[in-house]
Amino acid sequence: MPDAALNLKTLAPPPELRRPKLVPGERGLGGLTDHLTAFAEGKTPRWWWIMFLPAAFLAAVVLPSLLIYQISSGIGVWGNNQPVSWGWDIINFVWWVGVAHAGTLISALLFLTRQHWRTAIGRAAEAMTVFAVMMAGLYPGIHTGRVWFDWFLAPIPTSNGIWPQFRSPLMWDVFAVNTYLMVSTLFWYMGLIPDLALMRDRAKTRVRKIIFGVFALGWTGSARHWHNYEKAYLVLSGLATLLVFTVSSIVGMDFATSQLAGWHETIFPFYFVAGAVFCGFGMVLVLLIPLRKLCHLEDVITPQHIDKVCKMTLLMGCIMAYIYVMEYFLAWYTGNPYDSWVFGHRLFGHQYWFGGWIMILVNATLPQLFWFKKVRQNLKLIFVIAVLINIGMWFERFVIIVGSLYQDFLPANWGAYFPTWVDVGTFAGTLGAFFTMYLLFVRFLPVIAVSEVKGATPQADPHHPLGGAKGGH
């Protein structure tokens, strides 16, 4: 189309105003499709096995055996004690829920605000959400101790005649986490349907055709179907966006409604949402930076995307800094001696003082490096910062939970907390299970939302010369 190319040139803005392309347009849509599905259809590379086997060992051997050991012996095999009755189980629960949040924020909130750059990273981030919520949901289940009574949490009629107690935020949490798991899975799966149809149409073997065909539900790409699909996607995004703000709020209320110094704060719901999104962006960076290289997607997940995620991380880091300052201010301003004790001991206590410093240095200070463009372009440095953010946010939960529990109102009741090997092993097991599922996702499904990315190219726009529009159309 020589006239179309000419048209594009005359219409193009001057070079200084030109934005870098979100999606490389040189390939054409067919080439782009081949490129984006290449990894899910190609041979399994060696690096995949090197990562998969240890993760699968943790998931399939370590995690189940430790769960069986803990369930058959009791919570005593963990470090939980009196007064520290919430230990690594709840720390890891809050941490995993937090990791999940960025995925929903990227895929739902950025969809509603029409941020087209999200198309390239939305799918990978949503998968992270689904798997992280699974890991999060595991912890409260086993934390009950006698897991065979977990069904007491469900509002079903029993011979006991007693019902769940809906005035407790812990009960709200049961609803919130399960809803989060179901809605994020539904959202992820619905986004996958057109791409599953694509994989079905491209399948070379009968087995692949049948498997992808079943999960694609017979998607044809009919305009009538797209019409309903887009509406459903919009509704789901709106509802999932609500979850970004409610799930961690409710987790925060689990703490805030108690009377404990260090927990009893009105800022907690907001605090937990901000912390969750912050930690989640850290995990998105940890996953995306190697993923784009290993799956050869450097031209789709561009440094521009990483730059944008870094900016979001910076914003969240600043909110964390504000909250940390505000917490200290409130502890001083309320004049509550217990609050002052807890917050003073976060930084200068006999035990666990390092947690408070890690929390402030890593979560509030380190992301300030993202003010510099040089840092936002240095992928290796970003990766290191992102890993540190995840560790820092883990310590934040440690400081909040253990730091508030180990020295409560009665000095006679003071104690200490140390995790046992079972705590450590179970956490390693959940990390293994998360990465196992993530690696399987990367291997067998398109990690980029192909139809969405194609829809964001100029070739997909019927009024753009590359979309076939004639001059003046």
Which of positions 206-245 make contact with other proteins (CB under 8 A)? Answer: 213-214, 217-232, 235-236, 239-240, 242-243
**Which CB sits closer to other proteins, 149 or 350?**
149
Minimum Å distance from CB 466 to other proteins? Answer: 8
Binding mask 335-374 for other proteins (x = CB under 8 A): ----------------------------------------
Return the residues of window 172-211 that contact other proteins according to CB under 8 A.
172, 175-176, 178-179, 182-183, 186-187, 190, 194, 197-198, 200-202
When asked if residue 408 is in the footprint of other proteins (CB under 8 A), the reply is no
- Token digits of residue 77: 């095999």
Return the residues of window 29-48 that contact other proteins according to CB under 8 A.
29-30, 33
Return the residues of window 272-301 that contact other proteins according to CB under 8 A.
none
Binding mask 68-107 for other proteins (x = CB under 8 A): ----------------------------------------
Q: Please say whether the beta carbons of 314 and 368 come within 8 A.
A: yes
Torsional class of 296: left (φ above 0), alpha (ψ -120 to 50), beta (otherwise): left
In the set 28, 42, 290, 415, which binds other proteins (CB under 8 A)? 28
CA dist 116 and 119 (Å) reads 6
In the set 164, 208, 311, 353, which binds other proteins (CB under 8 A)? 164
Of the candidates 407, 271, 258, 416, which has an alpha carbon nearest to the alpha carbon of residue 341? 407
Q: Please say whether the beta carbons of 98 and 280 come within 8 A.
A: yes
Element (H, E) at 174: helix 169-202
CA dist 200 and 37 (Å) reads 12
**Which CB sits closer to other proteins, 184 or 426?**
184
- Token digits of residue 69: 């050991």
DSSP class of residue 1?
-
Q: Please say whether the beta carbons of 448 and 292 come within 8 A.
A: no
**Which CB sits closer to other proteins, 33 or 363?**
33
Name the residue type at position 157: P
Name the residue type at position 264: H
Return the residues of window 434-453 that contact other proteins according to CB under 8 A.
451-452
Please provide residue 465's backbone torsions phi and psi, each rounded to the nearest 5 degrees: -55, -35
Minimum Å distance from CB 13 to other proteins? Answer: 22
Q: Which residue stretch of 87-95, 158-166, 271-279, 301-309 sits at the interface with other proteins (rule: CB under 8 A)?
A: 158-166
